Amino acid sequence: MSNPLAEPKPPVFAASGSPAAAGVPRPGSLPESFDEVALASPGAAERFRQLTEELSKSGSTNLSRVSIQSRRLMRDLGVTFNLYREDAAAENILPFDPFPRVLDHATWQFLARGLEQRVRIWNEFFRDIYDSQEVLKSGIVPFEIVYDDPRYQRNAVGLKVPEDVFVHVAAFDLARDREGRWVVIEDYVGNTTGVTYALSARNVLSQAAPDLLERADLEPVHTYSTELLEHLRRFAHGSPEPRVVLLSPGVYNSAYYEHSSLARQMGIPLVRGSDLIVLNSRCYLKTIGGLEPIDVIYRRLDESFIDPVAFRNDSQLGIPGLLTCVRKGTVTVANAAGTGLGDNRALATYLPKLARFYSRETLLIPTVERRLCFDADQRDLVSSDLENHIVQHVSERSADAVWDPASLSAEGLAALRRRMDADPARYVAEPRLPLTTLPTWAGDALVPRHAGLRCFVFGGRQPRVFPLALTRFAPRAGSRTISSGLGGGIKDTWILRGPNPATSVETTIIVSSPQRRLRLGSRIADSLFWMGRYKARIENTTRILKVVQQVQLENPAQQRAQSWAALWEALARTTGHDTHFFKRSPLLRQQSVSQYLLLDRKNPASVLNNVARLRENARVTRESVPPEVWAVINRLWQTVDGAAAGDALNDDHALPRIQELEQRILDDVDALSGCAAKNMLRDDAWHFWTLGRHVERAITATLVTRQVLLKRADPATVATGGDSNLDALLRMLACQYAYRSLYQTRPTAEHVVSLVLQDAALPRSVLHCVEAIRDSLESVSGPEVRRRDAPSPLRTSAHLAGEVEFADLSTLFHSSSDGSRPQALFLDAWLEDLATRLTRLAGEISDHHLYHQAFNILR
């Protein structure tokens, strides 16, 4: 073993003020703080020296230049983490440090062997605990530790898992103890995080300083995601074409970036609990085409949430009944249910005994010295010297379950002691480790910062460490906490290749034929559908409001509100209000209607709120929305959010600002349509976006026409036409030019109705929209559409298209010799009925493709 401590080297460089500069360590006992560079083996130390030289030069690899560039790359890649806060939507760019950590080949091999052994032991432990519990019966591990841990899943006892593998993916945090030996300070055998940050670090550094990496001869890491997928597919229950999904708690989780980017890189669906459903002990993914059976669930969701019926009743995140599938062996959950027990820090201290018990081995890498407070002797040791310990909750992994007594106030310390005395079994304490640091770029110099190392292992019969590690560093000098939530960052980790790189582990690849593509997930389709609807709503509200205001400005003679009643009613109806809303509302008198409809946060139908919903839907479907489209949606959001932050739009002087804002919204919406048309594949996602837009447009066109045409004081004018309201109607639907080029006269009611309802060539006509809906439904329904048993929404839309196209509306405008009232009423009823049926069609689409009421299982 070439563990590099035989003779510690003096630091290669020492920044001013660094405690590391204080002196060379005595062998066998490190000072309170010490730089990793000094502990490096000759090979790694040499590389550290080269790096320092290289990065200090004023070339393309100059540190400050690489640093600035990598920050930009981190932002473009979207390497973010979420902080749990009230405004949970906040995403933060992770700080990146360009100075890498170097691990030489021999050190890495030692760590790899040790961690592979560790995963094997953990797996043996879970296999035993969730079966006959020999380790408890023989008293190797006190049963209280297991039975009193809420993460011991009684429901998982007796469940069989494929190949007896419980731990499919594991991670470990490592540090050096006072003797300089590597120790594991944290075991992650239930749910592991961090791997994509390690991948991003390499990605960013290789783009920001390509020549640096070219010369570096490192173990390659880019195959991680593919190997992970292959690894997971091995554990499917006998399915020849295993389907794997990644189960995430959703966008509000701090690791959502990791979930979405891993899913994208593995090419598998990122799902939430509600995307899956259990039926006859089989787990299915809801897709727009029906239910797809799922074989492996790579869960990134705490196991106590995965099945709300079996584990926790208050969880909305899981899949009710998932455990019945696991019990029947139809689905593999990775890591297996019950492995969360491994979060118990007390258990990790029993690993040396477990290694002997299960396989008569000696543990290669020890667990950090950790005192268990439920043991009276150990508790006394801790209690008498509390200031020199770090106290932790026995199994909670959050940052507020760790206490540093040295930094606590007298009251804080007393409170901690009280808590520990009240329930000692809940606490463990670790003697303070030395603070090992790495050189980190602080903008003008390299300074030492406390740094941690996390390694990743594939579990299985023969666990395998992947040559990838995550190095995180603390934000401030002397800071012990390494947490991205507290401002810490990441750096690349260089694992140097050995003399004979060809000896890397050979693993068999399951060669599979190309898979049938999974259809689009229903939730994603639902979001796209609603994005389309919100986009159309934003456009409609803005344009109709703009037209109403313009018409009034253009006809200053008619100041009676009554003249414009029909237009206001149209606006009210299409924004989801009662038709008389604006008549009764003081908004009109106060000139604040623009504020209300465009920017009011309290009006659920305001453009601002619709943009917010559009953006939120786009955000939760980021993996299906091209980045260009996301950028335009963000711009639209900035337009309205920025305007809402400014002065309210509620006086006469605001008119120019109102007009400008309306124009900007309409321009942004146009840009969004164009950008989506240009960048989106014409796949299922596109069709649902299209469906949403056309459903909304058809409904609005119908309602506006009805309101403007028929709800007027004098029904006789229906037939005569020629009033300015008809002109306004054409402008509201953006078809005044189409009308003029077609008819070359002032508008008449008959022609207007014919154009906006029945002209298939006009993109905003009801007929065009219904035909577009029909065509999109035909595309998503697949080749069976011609059959008589075509899905109902398709049949409904085809039926509606025919009806709109062939309705003989002209008779309603000519046979009015005895007064047009009955015909007017008939048209009114026809339009109202059309609007109702269009709304119902939207519901049918949702039911059939999105909520699975159709109940068809694929294959």
Q: Which residues bind other proteins (CB under 8 A)?
A: 133, 136-137, 143-144, 147-148, 154-155, 157-158, 274, 277-281, 308-310, 313, 320-321, 324, 327-328, 851-853, 855
Say how far apart CA 781 and CA 405 lie, in whole Å.
Answer: 63
Say how far apart CA 747 and CA 730 lie, in whole Å.
Answer: 9
Candidates 571, 560, 824; CA nearest to 714 is 824
Residue 806 vs 855, nearer CB to other proteins: 855
Minimal distance, residue 777 CB to other proteins, in Å: 21
- Sign of the C-alpha dihedral, residues 813, 818, 820, 826? negative
What are the backbone angles phi and psi of residue 390, rounded to the nearest 5°?
Answer: -110, 125
Residue 289 vs 434, nearer CB to other proteins: 289
Amino acid at residue number 732 = M
Minimal distance, residue 757 CB to other proteins, in Å: 33
Residue 40 vs 146, nearer CB to other proteins: 146
Residue 148 vs 227, nearer CB to other proteins: 148
Minimal distance, residue 132 CB to other proteins, in Å: 8
Minimal distance, residue 367 CB to other proteins, in Å: 24
Residue 27 vs 843, nearer CB to other proteins: 843
Residue 141 vs 629, nearer CB to other proteins: 141
Candidates 484, 492, 485, 488; CA nearest to 476 is 488
* E strands present in 751-801: none
Say how far apart CA 380 and CA 376 lie, in whole Å.
Answer: 6
Minimal distance, residue 135 CB to other proteins, in Å: 11
Residue 193 vs 281, nearer CB to other proteins: 281
Alpha-helical (H) ranges within 87-234 are 105-129, 134-137, 143-147, 195-208, 210-214, 224-233
Angstrom CA distances, 521 to 226, 245, 270, 275, 319, stand at 22, 11, 9, 7, 15
Instruction: Reply yes or no: is the peptide bond before residue 335 cis, omega within 30 of 0.
Output: yes
Report which DSSP code applies to 596: I
Say how far apart CA 556 and CA 696 lie, in whole Å.
Answer: 33
- Sign of the C-alpha dihedral, residues 165, 171, 177, 180? positive
Angstrom CA distances, 256 to 83, 198, 260, 263, stand at 11, 15, 6, 10
Minimal distance, residue 136 CB to other proteins, in Å: 6
| Cβ neighbours, 10 Å, residue 748 | 16
Please measure the distance between the N-terminal and C-terminal CA atoms of the chain and give it in whole angstroms.
54
To which H or E segment does residue 91 belong? strand 91-93
Minimal distance, residue 425 CB to other proteins, in Å: 11
Angstrom CA distances, 241 to 28, 78, 233, 236, 337, stand at 54, 32, 9, 9, 23
Residue 88 vs 157, nearer CB to other proteins: 157
Minimal distance, residue 276 CB to other proteins, in Å: 11
Burial of 466-487, coded b for 16+ CB within 10 Å and e otherwise, reads bbbbbbbbbbebebbbbbbeee
Minimal distance, residue 310 CB to other proteins, in Å: 7
289 touches 782 (CB < 8 A): yes
Residue 328 vs 746, nearer CB to other proteins: 328
Residue 274 vs 659, nearer CB to other proteins: 274
Residue 369 vs 423, nearer CB to other proteins: 423
Minimal distance, residue 553 CB to other proteins, in Å: 46
Relative to beta strand 464-473, strand 489-495 is antiparallel
Relative to beta strand 402-403, strand 389-393 is antiparallel
Residue 321 vs 793, nearer CB to other proteins: 321
Residue 68 vs 279, nearer CB to other proteins: 279
Minimal distance, residue 312 CB to other proteins, in Å: 10
Minimal distance, residue 521 CB to other proteins, in Å: 16
Minimal distance, residue 642 CB to other proteins, in Å: 36
Say how far apart CA 3 and CA 780 lie, in whole Å.
Answer: 60
User: Given the structure tokens 């349509």, which residue do they identify?
Assistant: 673
Residue 737 vs 851, nearer CB to other proteins: 851
- Sign of the C-alpha dihedral, residues 541, 545, 551, 554? negative
Minimal distance, residue 529 CB to other proteins, in Å: 16
Residue 390 vs 425, nearer CB to other proteins: 425
Candidates 701, 650, 671; CA nearest to 540 is 701
User: Given the structure tokens 């582990």, which residue do they identify?
Assistant: 505
Report which DSSP code applies to 425: G
User: Given the structure tokens 């492996």, which residue do they identify?
Assistant: 296
Minimal distance, residue 278 CB to other proteins, in Å: 5
- Residue count of the chain, please give it: 859
Minimal distance, residue 844 CB to other proteins, in Å: 13
To which H or E segment does residue 838 belong? helix 821-845
Half-sphere exposure of 105 (CA within 13 A, CB side): 13
Alpha-helical (H) ranges within 651-683 are 655-679
User: Given the structure tokens 């509390």, which residue do they identify?
Assistant: 386
Minimal distance, residue 321 CB to other proteins, in Å: 4
To which H or E segment does residue 328 belong? helix 322-328
Residue 76 vs 423, nearer CB to other proteins: 423
Residue 276 vs 644, nearer CB to other proteins: 276
Tell me the chain's radius of gyration from C-alpha atoms.
Answer: 33
Residue 130 vs 182, nearer CB to other proteins: 130
- Sign of the C-alpha dihedral, residues 11, 13, 17, 22? positive
Minimal distance, residue 144 CB to other proteins, in Å: 7
